[in-house]
């Protein structure tokens, strides 16, 4: 019966019909649309956990990287997945190749480099409110760092910045390094953000300024979620404590 329906409807309509039926299951949608966010990687389970609250909301999502290489008519798999999973969202993307042929309702694509600060600022201005940013672009460490430094300030409070495929932080072909003290990699950035979260605990040195705008950093295998927000809970060193010896413990006053 399914084979008959597939023939009658055609491949594209058949996929869309099945996608509508499985619209609440991001992993199944990833398989249907052919994105490696499931299967090749196990990202969709984490996306579902962090993005569940957005399902029925109006918001803007920007994904870096369309996919399909230099071929203008290929790629856009994850964009279509996001469109189906978030029925009220506007999906935006950028790619260094011309992918305008893949645009459709609620999917807008701009051509340009994620390492071009002027281009990134212009796109953020065109979109206006940016609630979710996903970096699935070149995965070159320099590009990842540039994109974050330019786009994170444009992210709304409460918004999420996601970096995929952080394994390239250790790959020299992408400008990465296996050295624990590497400074110019995506994971070096993530490690610095973990310190920045605790900016109010810094006493003898100047804390990372970005810490005031980050409320959480969640790390998974090759995947990082960074939530923006006002981080001003008050540091431990700014609260009143009376410190006793180890045997007496710590007592608040």
Catalytic residue list:
139
How far is it, in rounded angstroms, from Cα 206 to Cα 135? 29
The predicted-structure confidence for 1-14, as pLDDT tens digits, reads as follows 455 444 444 556 64
Q: Was domain 26-252 assigned CATH 3.30.2090.10?
A: no
- What is the rounded average pLDDT for all residues in the chain? 88
Q: What pTM value is reported for the model?
A: 0.87
DSSP secondary structure string, 12-54?
Answer: HHHHHHHHHHTTT-HHHHHHHHT-TTTTTS--HHHHHHHHGGG
pLDDT attached to residue 15: 56
Question: Which residues of the chain are modeled with pLDDT < 70?
Answer: 1-22, 237-253
pLDDT attached to residue 39: 83
Report phi then psi at 164, rounded to 5.
-100, 160
pLDDT attached to residue 67: 96
| Edge-first strand listing for the sheet containing 60-64 | 107-111, 90-95, 60-64, 130-135, 155-164, 223-228, 214-220
pLDDT attached to residue 245: 41
């Amino acid at each position: 019966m399914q084979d008959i329906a597939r023939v009658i409807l055609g491949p594209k309509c058949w996929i869309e019909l099945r996608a509508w039926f499985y619209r609440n299951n991001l992993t199944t949608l990833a398989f249907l649309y052919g994105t490696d966010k499931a299967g090749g990687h196990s990202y969709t389970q984490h996306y579902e956990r962090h993005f569940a609250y957005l399902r029925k909301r109006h918001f803007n999502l920007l994904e870096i990287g369309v996919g399909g290489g230099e071929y203008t008519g290929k790629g856009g798999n994850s964009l279509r997945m996001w469109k189906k999973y978030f029925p009220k969202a506007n999906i935006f993307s950028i790619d260094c190749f011309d992918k305008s042929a893949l645009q459709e309702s609620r999917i807008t694509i701009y051509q340009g480099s994620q390492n071009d600060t002027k281009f990134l600022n212009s796109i953020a201005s065109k979109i206006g409110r940016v609630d979710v940013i996903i970096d699935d672009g070149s995965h070159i460490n320099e590009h990842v760092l540039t994109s974050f430094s330019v786009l994170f300030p444009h992210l709304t409070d409460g918004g999420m910045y996601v970096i995929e495929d952080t394994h390239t932080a250790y790959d020299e072909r992408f400008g990465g390094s296996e050295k624990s003290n590497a400074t110019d990699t995506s994971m070096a950035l993530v490690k610095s953000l973990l310190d920045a979260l605790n900016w109010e605990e810094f006493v003898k040195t100047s804390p990372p300024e970005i810490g005031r705008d980050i409320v959480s950093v969640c790390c998974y295998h090759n995947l990082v979620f960074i939530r923006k927000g006002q981080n001003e809970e008050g540091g431990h060193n700014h609260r009143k404590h009376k410190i006793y010896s180890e045997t007496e413990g710590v007592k608040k006053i």
